[in-house]
Amino acid sequence: MPEEKSKETVKQLFIQFLEARKLRKTPERFAILEKIYTTTQHFDVESLHEAMIENGYRVSKATVYNTIDLLLEANLVRKHQFGGNLAQYERVYNTNHHHLICVKCGKVREVKDLDLMSTLNTRKFNKFTTSYYTLYVYGVCSRCNRKKTKDKNEKK
């Protein structure tokens, strides 16, 4: 999906969601959505709030939290717990990727594996309707691996 089109699509989906729940369509909520969909990185609520302030939006942290909750419910944002305590979020559209998580430094890398994805997409589970799946692969990144070998060599 092209960038602009996906932004317009999610906006429409969010409008429908808010209207269905009779919630107010405040400009802050849409500004937050817009910001999230221009961010390609994973983010936490604090940094999103800071970015909003930097961009000149006077939104409170409570509004950011509240909007994230709505977007989670609307399935436009996904929540991740990459092993650390801090919850990280990312947009849902254009995110057909898996996460490789380094258990040493906590670095998260995104990878695409179309074969694996199509397998998961067609997998049906008994008495269960799948909305989405998310796959975390835990391991050690190449940098940490290099460090480990270096430390070992130095000890010799």
Binding-site member from 36, 76, 92, 102 for Zn ion (CB under 5 A): 102
Inter-residue contact 116 to 70 (CB < 8 Å) = no
Q: Is 92 in the site for Zn ion (CB under 5 A)?
A: no
Site pattern 107..146 for Zn ion (x: CB under 5 A): x--x------------------------------x--x--
Which of 86, 105, 111, 137 is the binder for Zn ion (CB under 5 A)?
A: 105
Give the pair of three-digit tokens for residue 114.
């179309």
Nearer to Zn ion, 16 or 75 (CB): 75
Least distance (Å) from Zn ion to the CB of residue 116? 15
Torsion on CA atoms 84, 87, 90, 91, rounded to nearest 10: 150
Please, which residues have CB within 8 angstroms of residue 110's CB and are 6 or more apart in sequence?
Answer: 97, 98, 99, 100
| 36 is annotated as contributing to ligand binding | no
Please tell me whether residue 111 adopts helix, strand or coil conformation. Answer: strand
Distance of CA 100 to the CA centre of its chain: 14
Question: What is the smallest separation between the CB atom of 11 and Zn ion, expressed in angstroms?
Answer: 21
Pairwise CA distance, residues 120 & 116, whole Å: 6
The number of residues that bind Zn ion (CB under 5 A) is 8
Please give the residues from 4 up to 33 whose contact with Zn ion meets the rule CB under 5 A: none
Annotated binding site for Zn(2+): 102, 105, 141, 144
